[in-house]
Amino acid sequence: MSSRASILEKIRNNKPELVELPDLSIFTHNVTTENLIDTFIEVSTTNASTVVNLVNTETSLELFLAKFIAENFGEHSKVYNTLNGNDIPEIDFKTTHVDVFVALPKIAVAENGCMWITNEQLPQRISAFGSENTLFIVDHKNIVPTMHQAYSKVKENIGEYGVFIAGPSKTADIEQSLVIGAQGAVSNTIILI
């Protein structure tokens, strides 16, 4: 008998009587937009992201972004920008230093700062991890209260690969001292629009 067949047979013989799945509809959250934005900013800041709030301003995103990147990552910084679609020439991340990855997540979560991007924004999956810094443009209309609402939206398009990113990579593996910048991006910026 194959291992597959023997494992499945053992489970059939040993499993307990069927227990029904619980109802998840109790986890609904009624909150105001203002609440969502404030919570999202607060949590993201705790997660060590830099948050710039452009909601209720007349600033042009394009101009702001160009200026912000030049000021923070250098005039000639290499940018992996996915805002205008994913038709981006392939980059060898092993040999090319990319300063900043830019994307617009479709979902952002107030309770934990998670931002959802899929292969649609990641023509090369490594781009969000192999770039030195990440920068996300978050439309405040895309903020949901908790992971429950986030997954009902994720369901619409799970994609081939999708990731929630909640800040820059970090570790506390040496004596519990928090260090920002482990194996992924060393900084994360969120521009709220």
Partner 1 sequence: MSIHAQKAKDFIANEERTNWHDGALWHVRNKRDISASGVPEWEALRNTASQIKDNVLSNLDTYLIQFEAAAKANGVHIHWAANGNEHNAIIGDIIDKHNARKIVKSKSMLTEECGLNHFLEDNGIEIIDTDLGERIIQMRNEPPSHIVLPAIHIKKEEVGELFHAQLGTEKGNADPTYLTKAARTHLQNKFFEADIAITGVNFAIAETGGVVICTNEGNADMGCHAAPVHIHCMGMEKILPKLEHLGVFTRLLARSATGQPSTIYTSHYHKPESSKEMHIVIVDNGRSEQLAKEDFRNSLKCIRCGACMNTCPIYRRSGGHSYHATIPGPIGAILQPNRDLKAYSDLPFASTLCGSCSDVCPVKINIHEQLYKWRQEIYKNNELPKSKVTSLKIATKVFKSPSTYDFLGKFARASMKALPRFMMYNKFNDWGKHRELPQPPKQSFKEWYKNKNNE
Sites for partner 1 among residues 139-178 (CB under 8 A) = 146-148, 150-152, 154-155, 158-177
CB of 145 to partner 1, least distance (A): 11
**Rounded Cα distance, 79 and 35, in Å:** 33
Q: In the range 20-59, which residues lie near partner 1 by CB under 8 A?
A: 20-22, 24, 26-27, 43, 47
Between 113 and 190, CB nearer to partner 1: 113
Q: In the range 61-90, which residues lie near partner 1 by CB under 8 A?
A: none
CB of 85 to partner 1, least distance (A): 17
CB of 117 to partner 1, least distance (A): 10
Q: Count of residues for the chain?
A: 193
Between 48 and 61, CB nearer to partner 1: 48
Q: SS in 3 state form for 36-104?
A: HHHHHHHHHHHCCCEEEECCCCCCCHHHHHHHHHHHHHCCCCCEEECCCCCCCCCCCCCCCCCCEEEEC
Q: In the range 89-128, which residues lie near partner 1 by CB under 8 A?
A: 93-94, 109, 111-114, 119, 124-126, 128
Exactly one of 37, 130, 133, 140 binds partner 1 (CB under 8 A); that residue is 130
Exactly one of 12, 30, 32, 87 binds partner 1 (CB under 8 A); that residue is 12
CB of 70 to partner 1, least distance (A): 25
Q: Residue 12 to residues 3, 16, 21, 65, 100: CA-CA distances in angstroms? A: 14, 9, 19, 57, 51
**Rounded Cα distance, 93 and 41, in Å:** 31
The two tokens of residue 185 are 């991006």
